[in-house]
Amino acid sequence: TVLTPEQREAVALEVEGVRESTLTAVNTSYRGMYLFAGSRSTTAPYTRSGSTVSAYQGDTTVVSVDIARTSSTAISVDAGAMLQGGAANDVFETLAALAAAVRTGDMTAIDAGLTEIDAAFERVTQVQSRVGAALSALPGERARLDELRRASDTRRSQAEEISLSAAITEMTRAQQAQQAAIAATGTTQQVTLLDYLR
Specify the pTM.
0.66
Domains of the chain in sequence order: 5-152 (1.20.1330.10)
User: Cβ atoms within 10 A of the Cβ of 3, count?
Assistant: 12
Contact 10, 56 (CB under 8 A): no
> What is residue 147's predicted lDDT score, i.e. its pLDDT?
80
Give 176 or 10, the one with higher predicted confidence.
10
- How many helices (H) and strands (E) the chain has is answered by 4, 6
For residues 3 and 108, what is the distance between their CA atoms, to the nearest angstrom? 15
Q: How far apart are alpha carbons 32 and 13 in whole angstroms?
A: 31
CA dihedral 65, 69, 71, 74 (to 10 degrees): 0
pLDDT of res. 197:
57
Res. 182: pLDDT tops 90: no
State the Cα–Cα distance between residues 34 and 19, nearest whole angstrom: 19
pLDDT digits (tens, 9 = 90+) for 47-95: 999 989 999 999 999 888 887 777 788 878 888 888 988 888 999 999 9
Q: Which of 65-69, 98-102, 115-119, 189-193 has the lowest mean pLDDT?
A: 189-193
